Amino acid sequence: MTIEVKPSTADVLLAVARSAGTTARLLARRRLTMPSSLVGAQLRDVDGSCSTVFRETVAARRATDPVLLVVAFRLRWVGAARWAHAVFRRTCVVNTPLFAGFPGFVSKLWLADRSTDVYRGLYVWDGAARATAYAVRLSQVLRLVTVAGSVAYEVVEGAERAEFLSGRRTLPAAPPR
């Protein structure tokens, strides 16, 4: 049985501030990139729908204990407005400092499922504990801008990103509406 301890607001703010500082250093050293080769790739969801990659972020780091982290959510206030979703997808790059500097971050595929309005992040992380620590903090930040109860995450050990890209594995179920 896992008991999740909710970090304090101060802990979340400090973690995000540290991440922003580390992200700035990664960018200054050209160790953070946004390759476009996977943009447009589709990953199947367990419910049969597909999520499309709309961005990728990669840090020049190797994972010694790689795990995958899948985060899913639905945005509040945008509903079915296609233009609002388009604006979010174009501007969410400004959120990069919120995650790229966290200890253990390796890469993120940014995904959107237009049929369910679910956004996902498929991350490669160095270590399950680091991935979970990040996800717990991210969940608190996301709850400010998401539909109540729609934030979900899962740490997947023993899997590789390529398995999701090839269709051998499916993404976890979308959060409830």
C-alpha 148/C-alpha 59 separation (Å) is 31
Please say whether the beta carbons of 31 and 59 come within 8 A. Answer: yes
Q: Which two tokens stand for residue 83?
A: 């233009």
Helical ranges in 3-127 per DSSP H: 9-28, 82-91
pLDDT of residue 80: 73
Residue among 38, 109, 22, 37 nearest 72 (CA): 109
The span from the first CA to the last CA of the chain, in angstroms, equals 26
Please say whether the beta carbons of 102 and 65 come within 8 A. Answer: no
Element (H or E) spanning 70, and its range?
strand 66-74
pLDDT of residue 5: 63
Pick the CATH number of 9-166 from 1.10.10.60, 1.10.443.10, 3.30.70.100, 3.40.1350.10: 3.30.70.100
pLDDT in tens, the chain (177 residues): 445 567 888 887 888 888 888 888 888 899 899 999 999 999 998 888 899 999 999 999 889 999 999 999 998 887 777 788 788 888 888 888 878 888 999 999 999 998 888 999 999 999 999 999 999 988 888 888 899 999 999 999 999 999 999 999 999 887 777
Segments making up each domain of the chain, as ranges: 9-166
C-alpha 105/C-alpha 102 separation (Å) is 6
pLDDT of residue 4: 58
Q: How far is residue 38 CA from its own chain's centroid?
A: 15
> For residue 87, which amino acid is it?
V
Q: Which two tokens stand for residue 113?
A: 């499922």
Please say whether the beta carbons of 120 and 71 come within 8 A. Answer: yes
Query: What phi and psi, each to the nearest 5 degrees, are found at residue 32?
Result: -135, 120
C-alpha 97/C-alpha 141 separation (Å) is 13
Query: What phi and psi, each to the nearest 5 degrees, are found at residue 122?
Result: -110, 105
